[in-house]
Amino acid sequence: MPIYEYEPDGHDCLICNGRTEVLQPIDAGALQYCPTCGLEVRRVISRATFQLNKTSSADKASAKGFTTFKRVEKGKWEKVGGEGPDMIVGTPEDVAAVEAEKTPKKKPIDLG
Ligand SMILES: [Zn+2]
């Protein structure tokens, strides 16, 4: 069953904090009144999500055009979602550069 989101229509809803998620059969009509507070609501179509179709954060990122990589071992990244190569293998120079980025550089104190 899909989850539909409703938002208060022309008023503030203090009880359900703006938006309510309602689990409804797909052929059920849109609710007219908020099941929590009873005020008028309208369905927010664009945000409707399917409960069974749980998307991972990587899928969400790829939907936005981002590619997510997961580090499998030193210098090796595996694609989790999105476009692009399935695996990135860094050269030893790349790895060194990444590692260097992580360690904060100590600035020598120059006492002149
Ligand atoms: Zn409400």
| Lowest-confidence region among 8-17, 44-53, 65-74 | 44-53
**pTM attached to this predicted model:** 0.38
Cα-to-centroid distance, 53 and ligand 1 (Å):
26
69 pLDDT above the threshold of 80: no
Mean pLDDT over 69-73 rounds to 81
Q: What is the CA radius of gyration of the chain?
A: 24
Cα-to-centroid distance, 16 and ligand 1 (Å):
5
Cα-to-centroid distance, 42 and ligand 1 (Å):
11
Cα-to-centroid distance, 32 and ligand 1 (Å):
11
Q: What pLDDT digit, counting tens, does each position of 22-67 carry?
A: 888 878 888 898 888 888 898 886 544 544 445 667 777 777 777 7
Cα-to-centroid distance, 55 and ligand 1 (Å):
27
Q: What percent of the chain has pLDDT over 90?
A: 0
Domain ranges (residues) in the chain: 2-50, 57-102
